[in-house]
Amino acid sequence: MIESLAGSIRRLVFHRPPLFTNHQLVPCFASIWNFPMQAVDYPLISFDQQESVRDAMQLLGLWEFGEVVMNTERAGEGNMNMVVRVATTRQQIILKQSRPWVEKYPQILAPAERSRAETDFYRLISEQPDVAGKMPKILAADQRRHLLAMEDLGPAGDYSDLYAMRQLVAMPIEQATAWLAKLHAISLPIEEREQVGCLDLRKLNHQHMFLIPLETPSAVALDSICEGLENLASEIRGWPDLVAKSERLGEQYLQTGEHLLHGDFYPGSWLRTEAGFRVIDPEFAFAGPSEFDLGILAAHCVLCGGDEKSADDVIESYRLAGGSSIDVDLLRSFAAIEIIRRLIGVAQLPLVAGIEPRRTMAAIAKLWL
């Protein structure tokens, strides 16, 4: 399904990069985002190339004499990066590498510097045990190779099955809002706020969240995902003032704000582990309005079967967890745009829903705008 979806993306005129050996250059790509030409001049890792994994561990100082790689495998269904679970005769860890493209949609270029944003996020939360304790620890990092070694949280799966279950009762709203309340309470010096995150990655996400879903023709063959979805997209694009509202929200998204945000707080960034709820993948982190993280959470409550009260549920849970005061209208507006982009944009979800449930989701988005 991923391959067919990626292959249907229109207007993106570059090709999937082949598997490059170390230090080979990626050919130049044309990009609708006019990113600088990207080249891979650092060694790449792959779950099916154990030698690349061993070399990476040596570079990170994690390899001991006599150690042997026993197994390597893909760690989950990561969207953005190459993520490898490594088991050796001495340890089990996660290796994560950013490449200048999106791992799930390799037609789309993305700044490899996003790994630095993730490393910075972990640094900023390091003295906040209620936040850092719910995330894997970074064991080592190599910024030139855009490579992180991380603690393996053991047998775990993300919460993406919620989209098929469509039972809001299974959504970990209390755990999620408790973690966000602690995260958003972290004090960021004014001079450091501009430095948080990867601005080029935020600009890419801005395109996919606030602009591309509202353009015609659709960037994805929507009827191949769900019959009738193209007609729904046309209806959504006809809503009064939608484009103007989305552009205004997009401008707010690109501005620097007060709070440290995760930036991609949805079920694919949460893990069920033996120790409980955990959070991963903060590469979209930035300093911005707390309503953005909360809006994403509220949107995915709807996408997982919730109704128009989902935003109120998130707000109340966040308040009980000690969260800061919020702008309810702004939260709902961010949530509405996230619902729209997940219904008719490139970044599709594993929704097990026909056109009528999707219409209901769209109606909630319209109500919240």
Name the residue among 25, 132, 157, 150 with its Cα closest to residue 83: 150
Q: What integer pLDDT is reported at residue 104 of this predicted model? A: 84
CA distance 295 to 288: 13
**Residues 145 and 243 placed together within one structural domain of the fold:** no
- Quick one: 261 and 359 in the same domain? yes
Residues 6 or more apart whose CB falls under 8 angstroms from that of 46 comprise 19, 52, 53, 82, 84
Domain boundary among 135, 151, 167: 151
Mean pLDDT of all residues in 59-83: 91
pTM of the model: 0.88
pLDDT class of 108 with cuts at 50, 70, 90: confident
Query: How far apart, in whole angstroms, are the C-alpha atoms of residue 245 and residue 239?
Result: 11
221 plus 340 within the same structural domain: yes
3-state SS, residue 74 = strand
Any idea how long the chain is?
369
Domain CATH code at residue 259: 3.90.1200.10
* Percent above pLDDT 90 for the chain: 82
Tell me the angle at which helices 310-320 and 290-303 cross, rounded to the nearest 10 degrees.
Answer: 130
Mean pLDDT of all residues belonging to the chain: 89
pLDDT digits (tens, 9 = 90+) for 71-82: 999 987 767 999
Between the CA of residue 53 and those of 80, 151, 188, 280, what are the distances in Å? 19, 15, 36, 21
Does residue 233 have a pLDDT over 50?
yes
Domain count for the chain: 2
Cα 159 from Cα 83, distance rounded (Å): 18
Same domain, 89 and 144: yes
Last residue of a domain, one of 101, 121, 151: 151
Same domain for 203 and 114?
A: no
d(CA 156, CA 165): 18
For residues 157 and 272, is the Cβ–Cβ distance under 8 A? Answer: yes
Same domain assignment for residues 179 and 93: no
